[in-house]
Amino acid sequence: MMINAAERTAADLRSHIAELNNRIHQLEQLENSTDLSIHELQHSHDETSRSLQKKNRELERDLRQLKNKLSMAEVELAATDRLRASESSTNGRLPRSRSSSPRYTKTKSERLRDSPTTEYEKDRRALTRAAWAVLDDHGLGPPADQRVFENLDRIWRRNASRPTRVYENK
């Protein structure tokens, strides 16, 4: 009987050992899958972080470009407002010159100044002077000044084919 009891106890212990070994094997598999999941999550996090950093840099660049465009537009608007103010002070007419006298003949520079083909240049110069004044008001430095005038020149050249005013020579 003792032998049977000892054999039963040994068999029970073997089955417990087998169950424990099986449980250890399951826990090792769970640990391996957890490690793999952690590694995959870390990799995914790194990719997401890189993607977000790239997107953030792109958004910051776009924001800087929009701010630059906005400041350029503000400068152009202020320059146009100053030009309009100077035009309204003369009621849109050219100032009277010595040429109103019947005996006076215009000099070459006056003829060029009053010719319809150079009105564009006169307006462009006036807008440029107004833009310089606005830039001085805003305290912008030379690189910004150069971009402003390149943009103004581009706008004036684009609009040169579409005159918005009728000029008269008197």
> Residue 90 pLDDT > 70, yes or no?
no
Chain centroid to CA 107 = 49
pLDDT 10s digits, 41-89: 999 999 999 999 999 999 999 888 888 888 888 888 888 887 777 766 6
Nearby residues of 118 by Cβ (< 8 Å), 6 or more positions away: 112
Residue scoring higher pLDDT (6 or 140): 6
How far is residue 106's CA from residue 74's CA, in Å, rounded to a whole number? 39
